[in-house]
Amino acid sequence: MKRLLSTFALAGAFGLCAFGAQAATKLEQVKAKGFVQCGVSQGLPGFSNPDDKGSWTGLDVDFCRAVAAAVFGDATKVKFTPLSAKDRFTALQSGDIDVLSRNTTWTITRDTSLGLNFTGVTYYDGQGFLIRKDKKVNSALELSGASVCTQTGTTTEQNLADYFRANNMTYEVIAFATNDEVVKAYDAGRCDVLTTDRSGLAGERLKLTNPDDHVVLPEIISKEPLGPVVAHGDDQWFDIVKWVLFAQLNAEELGLTSKNVEEQVKSATNPEIKRLVGTEGKFGEGMGIGNDWVVAIVKQVGNYGEMYDRNVGPDTPLKLARGVNALWNKGGLQYAPPIR
Amino acid sequence: MSLTFDDGTFIRNEMVQPLPPPRRQVGALGWVRENLFSSVLNTVLTLAGIALVALILPPLVRFMILDAVWTGENREACLGPEVGACWPFIKAKFGQLIYGFYPIDQRWRPNIVFAAGILLMVPLLVPSWPLKRLNSFLFFVIYPVVSFVLLTGGNIDASAFLFEHFGLIHSFVGDVTMAGVNATFWVDYVLTAIAAAAFVGGLLALLGGSGTGAARTTLWVFLAFGALVLAWDIDFGLPYVETRQWGGLLVTLVIAVTGIVASLPLGILLALGRRSQMPIVRLLCVVFIEFWRGVPLITVLFFATYMLPLFLPSGTNPDALLRALVGVALFSAAYMAEVVRGGLQAISKGQYEGAMAMGLTWSQMMRLIILPQALTLVIPGIVNSFISLFKDTTLVLIVSIFDFLGQLRASFTDPNWATPVTLYTGFAFAGVVYFLFCFGMSRYSLFVERRLNTSHRR
């Protein structure tokens, strides 16, 4: 009997943290529990990393806050689950998280075979090269015969091989198991070039003894569009997450910033801005959230440009120029469908 | 003095003072000759050892102390060609390394838990201090409950959950709450307790055992569990801190201590079960032990965290830390069982036979004769398991629980502290912290061994 009871006790303890309500749609579920559960990385400089105060910061993190602002009108109603590269999709499939915003490259395999939907591109990344300034190399096409440091078992190595073969260049690869080893080897001069995603290069550069002696070459040899992901099966939620990013891009395009958004709500005459801030039309309601969703996003998180500058922009230690991530009308790739 | 006779006979009537031993055999010099340079091999080993220390120690001291940076606000302080450890980084991240993402204004709660843990554990570990029984009761029964309530915030509505899922009268009455207490649950609970006690008592009385004794035991179990539920349910006004926000050393210690405390009794039970005469019990124990020993801890954690929710009925989503805790505890219990079994097998048959000849029951024999000897024999093995468990806790990082090392790794990615030495500084600090804990455990085990094992000492 005692044994039976202890079994019951164990079962009870097991279920204690159960979520009570089972709502029909993802949006209702999220609203019922009162926060957005967002999967981020376990630490990637500028995209998601804990700061000195122990709160998560970064571009991916701020996107999650924007989703929370859209759904609840409150950017703080979000909780973060740090995930490793291996278990990020499992966590999304099992419903452990609502949104995955973890520097995930959008590829056809992931989009079509894992039961997931990519909602957009928050950052156009691509593989690049870091080299010492005193090597006097200005283009990756001059790298023939170079020794290249990279991490084993990643797509980086494959892209590298493809690029050098396509351009009829020779190279020697020096591969290491972890990123930190790669950086140390490069810093110690064991190879001429270090290659990884350009956003990563900016972070790695800071770990070098003299960061200013190194330069990132202009060539990008692979496409790595990074974006948020949601699970299949709920188109309304998919729409909301998708349009949060579009709203941030539209806000930047129309000059809406966290400083002037409230003023614009009152005084805007431009119909595009009026539709964006919800004084005209009922676009928010159409998605099942408030009509002032964009105001909440821009006020609390900022438009895309503000989000970018705060986390990875030229004034941060990472010093990443906008480049291809500039708006389409400023020579970049970031383009959002209109709100109308 | 001495006497000299006329015939030249010389008689000494006093002992000659012994000469001091040769100087090369006493004092520091003698010790060195005896212990360090007694043979060729010994001399070579000594010189190699000195060379090794000379090779490692100076750069270590230079990095950790002499060249180290002690003050600074961000990465700028730790840049430079000849910079050692970047201690301001550890200082800036210290709170996170200890508490993880635990809210800063609530950190007094883990502080109390730490302090109470030390206050209760130290007297328990010092053998000469009195009140061991009360102390263990406080440490093993009261302390976990208090810690749980303090760390999570309590008020988790356990009664409502139990009532909904196991309540006998739930379908007739529904929830009635009086003064914040789920009244119907407690009515139901008391009824269940009485019914269960009557049932057990009646059954045992029918079978010819002591009915009242069994009924009383059942009531006690219900009483204890009821007290637990009540403690969980009371609203102390503490804000809820979910386990996702825990991290750092707090999580390392929670997992290690829970694993250690749970694995020893479980392991002893499993070891006894494996050596039991009862075939079903033996089979179950063998299957359990071999299953858990055959699966890597990483798989266990991964399964518990990501696979389990897929199999459980939707809506039940056990807490991630709880899942990892149960996984670690069961895993280490299986290893502990084999350690204890080793001790049991080392006890000669005569001890069992002697105990039985004295007319002791099985449980008396185990408790008074066999286990004390067996456990004493395997103290090194047990502590080995504890230490490896303590270090294995770092594996929870793969299921996104940030223990001490995980929190450190996350801190490395802060671009405000990215310097060439950040990585080395962090791991040097982690090494010191882990060493302190593991070395402490190992010294304590040596102390206990020496105390208990006097007869076997060489």
Measured between CA atoms, the residue of chain B closest to residue A51 is B414
Determine the average pLDDT of the residues in B269-296: 93
| Long-range CB contact pairs, B7-10, < 8 A, 24+ | none
Q: What burial letters (b/e) apply to A286-317, b meaning 16+ CB within 10 Å?
A: ebebbbbbbbbbbbbbbbbbbbbebbbbeebb
Instruction: Check CB contact of A82 with chain B, cutoff 8 Å.
Output: yes
A46 vs B402, B415, B422: nearest CB: B415
Chain B closest CA to A76's CA: distance in Å?
14
What span, in angstroms and rounded, lies between the C-alpha atoms of A51 and B417?
10
Chain A residues with CB-CB distance to B397 below 8 A = 42, 84
Of the partner residues A5, A45, A96, the one whose CB lies closest to the CB of residue B415:
A45
Chain mean pLDDT for chain B: 86
pTM for the structure as a whole: 0.82
DSSP assignment, residue B392?
A: H
Q: At A241, give phi and psi (nearest 5°).
A: -65, -40
Q: How far is B355 from chain A (nearest CA, A)?
A: 27
For residue B229, what pLDDT is reported? Answer: 81
Cβ-based contacts of A88 with chain B (< 8 Å): none
Burial of B48 (0-12, 13-18, 19+ CB in 10 A): exposed
For B119-148, what is each residue's pLDDT tens digit?
A: 998 888 888 888 888 888 888 888 988 898
Across B158-182, average pLDDT: 65
Chain A: residue whose CA lies nearest to B315: A19
pLDDT the model gives residue B167: 65
* Coil, strand or helix at B409: helix
pLDDT at B25: 76
**A-B contacts at Cβ under 8 angstroms:** 143
Closest CA in chain B for residue A81:
B400
pLDDT class for B176, splitting at 50, 70, 90? low
Sheet of A146-151, strand order: A171-176, A146-151, A193-197, A127-132, A214-216
Evaluate whether A3 touches B161 at the Cβ level (below 8 Å): no
Domains of chain A with CATH codes: 21-124+225-318 (3.40.190.10), 127-222 (3.40.190.10)
Whether the per-residue pLDDT at B308 is higher than 80: the answer is: no
> Is there a contact between A54 and B306 if contact means CB atoms under 8 Å apart?
no
Give residue B168's pLDDT.
64
Q: What is the pLDDT along chain A (340 residues), one digit of tens a residue?
A: 444 444 444 444 444 434 434 447 999 999 998 999 999 998 889 999 998 888 899 999 999 999 999 999 999 999 998 888 877 898 898 888 999 999 999 999 999 999 999 999 999 999 999 999 998 888 889 999 999 999 887 778 889 999 999 999 999 999 888 888 888 899 889 999 999 988 889 888 888 888 888 988 888 899 999 999 999 999 999 999 999 999 999 999 999 999 999 999 999 889 999 999 999 889 999 999 999 999 999 999 999 999 999 999 999 988 888 989 999 999 999 999 999 8
A207 touching B (Cβ < 8 Å): yes
Non-local (6+) Cβ contacts of A84 within 8 A are A42, B397, B398, B400
Query: Distance between CA B253 and CA B121 in Å, rounded?
Result: 13
CA distance A9 to chain B (A): 8
- pLDDT tens digits for range B380-433: 899 999 999 998 888 888 777 889 999 998 899 898 898 888 999 999 999 999
Cβ contacts (< 8 Å) between B305 and chain A: which residues? 87
- pLDDT category at B165 given cuts 50, 70, 90 is low
Contact residues, chain B, for A19 at CB < 8 Å:
315, 317
Q: Using the beta-carbon criterion (under 8 Å), do A50 and B414 form an inter-chain contact?
A: yes
Nearest chain B Cα distance for residue A187, angstroms: 9
Whether A22 and B315 lie within 8 Å, measured CB to CB: yes
Q: Which amino acid is at A289?
A: I
Min Cα–Cα distance to chain A from B218, Å: 7
Task: Give me the pLDDT at residue B6, please.
Answer: 78
